[in-house]
Structure 1
Amino acid sequence: MSTIQLPFLNETIEINRETIADFRTDGHIQIRSVLGKEEVNSYREVIRNAAYKYNTEKRRLEERDTYGKAFLQIMNLWEVDEQVRLFTLAKRFGKIAADLLGVKNVRLYHDQALYKEPGGGFTPWHQDQYYWPLDTNNTITMWMPLVDITAEAGMLTFASESHTHGFIENLAISDDSELRLEKYINENGFSITRPKVMLAGDASFHYGWTLHSAPANISRVTREVMTIIFFADGAHVTEPKSDHQENDRQRWLNGIAPGALAASRLNPLIL
């Protein structure tokens, strides 16, 4: 295990009104330097070590389906690694999420490392909240590269203002979601936003209903990204509408019954 003395991330960052307004209009925002260089370098090592330790994908890239080629996905590292826990439950991230949503506090839904390998495939268009049995639209994902990345490495791409349409269609991440949601985007004239560069420690935030995707990684480096999903405190669990939502209810909400507060031991308050 790393012997690095990890910095605490409880010092918060003030987000200005313009940034908040842009987020609520577009459904996404990029914020520079959420972590400083030394902070992100420290956590990069422990997250990478944990991600590869707990990665269960053993197939070669060419043997996987579209979802499997999109990234290595290692979830809820905070449960199994005390060092990653310091990152995932950091007040700095939770405060930004709460300010953007306009709520007093947020709870954790889950974290996930998303490592897109060189040659890794595209991530199809999708809505995160399709998977979540929650009764609130105040949900948000933080997406933070742990290394400097360009568009060639598989930059997260958004359909701006698509969150205003809410739930669109019963579509999991797949080739089908790519085709049907790309058609929906074109029909509705959503503008496409894709940063050219993100530095390690920058972060984007997007609503649960914001349509997003990522191109293939045609670079020579692994796109190392850590994500954290938050939802507003006070949300309730809804009756699952799909097997995906039932799986999420059992795993990320610890089996809480529909109608109950979404406040299991797996959903700690952040602030």
Structure 2
Amino acid sequence: MTRTLSGIEIERYQSDGVAYLPQAVDPAWVERLNALVDEQLSHPGQWVNDGNPGQTRDRMFTERYMWQHNATIRDYIFHSGCAALAAQAMQSSSARFYFDHLLVKEPETAAPTPWHQDIPYWPFRGNQICSIWLALTETTVEESAMEFVRGSHAARTYYRPQVFNARKDHPNQQWTGVDGGEPVPDIEGNRGDFDIVGFDVKPGDAVIFSAWTLHGARGNNSANKRRAALSTRWLGDDARWWPHPGSDPTVSQDDVNVQPGAYPADDRVFPRVWPP
């Protein structure tokens, strides 16, 4: 199955900073990726953040940067059609891949995903940078499906990165919480002041959103349902390599063949996926 975006979906991404994409990928990918979830929960890799290891409840688990050693993730990146969706939404002539991010909240996981935007955490600048968050389980907003502040990408306000959930042992403690940028407003405490939109999703549905869009998710209040999703991050024509204090150190200047301020034309680290 090859999915393309409708004109309305492109318009919503451009105006709202987020668009809901029902049945974004072939259903076969959902089955393969859910098998991967079970594998990674049992045998996590290097870039894991596991809030309650080994538990089947109250466990918030994330893992990223699997694509270079995991055949399933790599196959999904190059053959799911997500690169073409990203390029269409961003109105970009190309789409390069940045990284994969597996996100799991087991039943009765109280921890929310705090309101934030992605751009301060990543070593890039540009308007054509986005994520495709693919639902692997049926999930409502109350069960931790994503929510967004509609239109928050438009002002290009740069918000200060922070450590999620204030865990002292958080693996990202070393690179978040630096100075620079405005503090994220108290969206959750003043929901009526913001234009918040969320999407209940079925397996295979996705949301595509700008790296500048404020977003978050509640805890998973289900007593028996896992919330699982895979995000892929995409770079368009105007993306520029910009390593800076507070950005993700997983890929650093030592890893790339591109200088700060340049387009990330490094096919080994940021492969061009679309056009093929």
> With structure 2 as the length reference, what TM-score do the two structures score?
0.80
Q: CA deviation at 1:257?
A: 3.4
Q: Could you say which residue in structure 1 is the equivalent of 2:262? A: 260
Q: 1:81 aligns with which of 70, 74, 77?
A: 70
Residues 239 and 145 of structure 1, relative CA distance in 2, 3 Å threshold: closer
Paired AA for residue 259 in structure 1: G
SS for the counterpart of 2:43 is helix
CA contact (8 A) 1:47 1:84 kept: no
CA contact (8 A) 1:109 1:252 kept: no
* C-alpha distance in structure 1 between counterparts of 2:254 and 2:63, whole Å: 14
Paired AA for residue 237 in structure 1: W
CA contact (8 A) 1:233 1:269 kept: no
CA contact (8 A) 1:157 1:212 kept: yes
Paired AA for residue 168 in structure 1: Y
Structure that is richer in helix per residue: 1
* C-alpha distance in structure 2 between counterparts of 1:91 and 1:75, whole Å: 18
Q: CA deviation at 1:22?
A: 1.1
Structure 2 unaligned residues grouped into runs of 5+: 167-176, 178-182
* C-alpha distance in structure 1 between counterparts of 2:123 and 2:138, whole Å: 34
Q: CA deviation at 1:20?
A: 0.6
Identity of aligned residues (%): 22
* C-alpha distance in structure 2 between counterparts of 1:252 and 1:26, whole Å: 36
* C-alpha distance in structure 1 between counterparts of 2:249 and 2:257, whole Å: 9
CA contact (8 A) 1:133 1:248 kept: no
* C-alpha distance in structure 1 between counterparts of 2:187 and 2:31, whole Å: 40
SS for the counterpart of 2:263 is coil
* C-alpha distance in structure 2 between counterparts of 1:175 and 1:190, whole Å: 22
Aligned length: 250
Q: Is 2:62 aligned against 1:60?
A: no
Q: Is 2:33 aligned against 1:43?
A: yes
| Greater mean deviation of Cα atoms: 165-174 or 25-34 | 165-174
CA contact (8 A) 2:241 2:259 kept: yes
Alignment of structure 1 residues 141-152 onto 2, 5 Å: 141-152=131-142
Detail structure 1 runs of 4+ shifted over 6 Å in the superposition: none
CA contact (8 A) 2:12 2:19 kept: yes
Residues 116 and 256 of structure 1, relative CA distance in 2, 3 Å threshold: farther
CA contact (8 A) 2:141 2:147 kept: no
CA contact (8 A) 2:133 2:206 kept: yes
Q: Is 2:7 aligned against 1:17?
A: yes
Paired AA for residue 126 in structure 1: H
| 1:55-110 alpha-carbon deviations (Å, 9 max, x no partner) | 5456637xxxxxxx883111012112112210123351000100000011111110
* C-alpha distance in structure 1 between counterparts of 2:148 and 2:214, whole Å: 6
SS for the counterpart of 1:60 is coil
Q: Could you say which residue in structure 2 is the equivalent of 1:64? A: none
Q: Could you say which residue in structure 2 is the equivalent of 1:105? A: 94
Q: CA deviation at 1:134?
A: 1.8
Residues 156 and 184 of structure 1, relative CA distance in 2, 3 Å threshold: closer
Paired AA for residue 37 in structure 1: P
RMSD (Å), alpha carbons: 2.9
* C-alpha distance in structure 1 between counterparts of 2:36 and 2:254, whole Å: 23
* C-alpha distance in structure 2 between counterparts of 1:190 and 1:34, whole Å: 28
CA contact (8 A) 1:125 1:213 kept: yes
CA contact (8 A) 1:253 1:267 kept: no
CA contact (8 A) 2:50 2:59 kept: no
Residues 269 and 225 of structure 1, relative CA distance in 2, 3 Å threshold: same
Q: 2:108 aligns with which of 105, 112, 119?
A: 119
* C-alpha distance in structure 2 between counterparts of 1:218 and 1:187, whole Å: 19
* C-alpha distance in structure 2 between counterparts of 1:70 and 1:231, whole Å: 31
* C-alpha distance in structure 2 between counterparts of 1:122 and 1:46, whole Å: 23
Residues 50 and 183 of structure 1, relative CA distance in 2, 3 Å threshold: closer
Q: CA deviation at 1:156?
A: 0.5
Q: Could you say which residue in structure 1 is the equivalent of 2:180? A: none
